[in-house]
Amino acid sequence: MARVTVLDSTLRDGAQSEGISFSVRDKMRIVSALDELGVDFIEAGNPGSNPKDIEFFREMRSQKLANAALAAFGSTRRKGVKVEDDEGIRSLLEADTETVVIFGKSWTLHVEKILRATLEENLDMIRETVAYFKSKGRRVIYDAEHFFDGHAANPDYAMASLRAAAEGGAECLVLCDTNGGSLPARIAELTKAAGAIGAPLGIHAHNDSGLAVANSLTAVEAGAVQVQGTLVGFGERCGNANLSTIVADLELKMKLSCLREGSLPKLAAVTRRVAEIANVGFDEGMPFVGLRAFAHKGGMHVDAVIKTPASFEHVDPESVGNERRILASEVGGRAVVIERVKRIDPAATRESPLVAQVVKRLKEMEALGYQFEGAEASLDILMRKAAGKYKPFFQLGHYRTIGEQPSGDREHCAQAMVKIAVDGVDEISAAEGDGPVHALDLALRRALERFYPNLSEMRLADYKVRVIDLPGAGTGATASTVRVLIESADSDDAWTTVGVSTDIIEASWIALVDSIEFKLIKDLERRFKPYLS
């Protein structure tokens, strides 16, 4: 099987994304994730332009990678400076990576207007810089910035810049569509043309025309043997080529080998982990790895996919570590609900009264602004309630939250008081927190832990608020209905619950209670399982 090497630039080009900023620790965690996935190169920063990156490369010296080679990134030497005297080049050497990626100019516009160098001088800069790192024992990948635009402006010069890098000893010449404006046909044509140089080629595409994935695949078809991108598609403007998509397309559809063998089923989890470390909301519609990638909602589709998965699935979800989801929704109808009710009551059929009841209850809740897609733990509790397989774990007597600014000698403070009862035994507790929801969360758990000590294992992993417009309701920003999603986790599982109210504290309370009850039900089930089998 032919092999395409993969260079991930999440930590370099991806760090240029709006809203992304990596700490040194973030970077190290992302390196581990990418290494585990089995990419070939991790382009991890530009030590010449970013002081944080210098610290990172220092830290990395003691860390051994299983698969990937770490690469530092930097430009060709400055004009009029000897390569060994150039500060940027020195930082790159000091980064002490096996591989360096050197980028240079192929577009006369950039040479003349941005670098303000002569065309000949730029070719020298490319050749000398690459040769210098080769002489220092480094592997050198050469990124031909703006290759496609450069070729349009001056084809001979763009090709000459590639040849300069090849002469310097670059092991791969990477054709960069830096502005992301090229169409696949052009990528194919120029990749083939660059093949005449005789060096291995790579492709580095951006998504400004929505074509980064297609352009990458096209280049591979035309002879490129390295694909550069970022696993989650991070990158300036519209992002770099999304490697999670490309890798799956190359392996599953074009039958080429990219990742370390057997790694593809880790794709969904590792992609999500990288997005989490970057603290960026995950695009659940992302091909192959998103929660929605194999989710079915339309009634007809759901019927079909249950009968014959291939009827609406282009690949097996498990091949990329994802799973099929059947969504709860008015469009889906009973087929959807039955699939889920069966988890609570395996004997349920299309005609069960329970199914009709759940459908009715779902419609009522949706009218209030609930959506259970992505809040499956709340849906599970709703179904248990409808099925009579539920008993509350506690009764709320009363809660009160207070927020103040200023408060005594402090800038602001939040407190909550909660009174609950479990089997007739009252418990009252209070807590101070970072904000009223946190105070309420602490006070409620403090009260409950006396009765349910296993709650101490549970932690709240994420808290999301979305303002929703309900048709017909008078709305307006802070007065709008809000939907709160709380993601909770213990050492074994993660689950998400939902609450809706015009009052953010009340919406949080609803989601909080579901989350705690889900944990308690889950633990009970596990404890009693041995007695059932």
- In the range 6-65, which residues lie near its own copies by CB under 8 A? 15-19, 21, 23, 25-26, 49-50
| Contact between 429 and its own copies per CB under 8 A | no
Alpha-carbon distance values, 287 to 268, 293, 434 (Å) = 10, 6, 38
Q: CB-based contacts of 73: which residues, under 8 Å, 6+ apart?
A: 9, 12, 43, 44, 45, 46, 100, 101, 103
CB of 18 to its own copies, least distance (A): 5
Q: Report the half-sphere exposure of 193 (CA within 13 A, side-chain side).
A: 17
Residue 258 or residue 354: which is nearer to its own copies going by CB? Answer: 258
Residue 69 or residue 106: which is nearer to its own copies going by CB? Answer: 106
CA–CA gap between residue 222 and residue 192 (Å, rounded): 6
Q: Can you tell me which of 5, 401, 496, 497 binds its own copies, judged by CB under 8 A?
A: 401
Alpha-carbon distance values, 274 to 149, 231, 286, 409 (Å) = 31, 8, 14, 41
Binding map of its own copies across residues 99-138, x = CB under 8 A, - = no contact: ----------xx--xx------------------------
Residue 25 or residue 343: which is nearer to its own copies going by CB? Answer: 25
437 neighbors 508 (Cβ within 8 angstroms): yes
| Contact between 343 and its own copies per CB under 8 A | no
Alpha-carbon distance values, 532 to 227, 389, 450, 522, 528 (Å) = 52, 16, 28, 15, 7
Residue 150 or residue 169: which is nearer to its own copies going by CB? Answer: 150
- Which pair of structure tokens corresponds to residue 128? 């000398």
Q: Can you tell me which of 63, 135, 257, 308 binds its own copies, judged by CB under 8 A?
A: 308
3-state secondary structure 175-193: EEECCCCCCHHHHHHHHHH
Segment holding 426, helix H or strand E: strand 425-433
| Contact between 422 and its own copies per CB under 8 A | no
CB of 66 to its own copies, least distance (A): 26
Q: Can you tell me which of 91, 218, 378, 429 binds its own copies, judged by CB under 8 A?
A: 218
Cis peptide before 184 (omega within 30 of 0): no
| Contact between 383 and its own copies per CB under 8 A | no
Residue 352 or residue 401: which is nearer to its own copies going by CB? Answer: 401
Residue 44 or residue 69: which is nearer to its own copies going by CB? Answer: 44
- Which segments within 56-106 are labelled E, that is strand? 69-75, 99-105
| Contact between 396 and its own copies per CB under 8 A | yes
CB of 351 to its own copies, least distance (A): 21
Q: Which residues from 146-205 bind its own copies, rule CB under 8 A?
A: 146, 178-181, 183-185
Q: Can you tell me which of 84, 462, 493, 525 binds its own copies, judged by CB under 8 A?
A: 462
Q: Which residues from 469-488 bind its own copies, rule CB under 8 A?
A: 469, 471, 476-480, 482, 486-488
CA–CA gap between residue 90 and residue 168 (Å, rounded): 18
| Contact between 319 and its own copies per CB under 8 A | no
Q: Which residues from 239-298 bind its own copies, rule CB under 8 A?
A: 239, 242, 245-246, 248-249, 253-254, 279, 281, 283-288, 290, 292-298
**Among 392, 447, 391, residue whose Cα is nearest residue 419:** 447
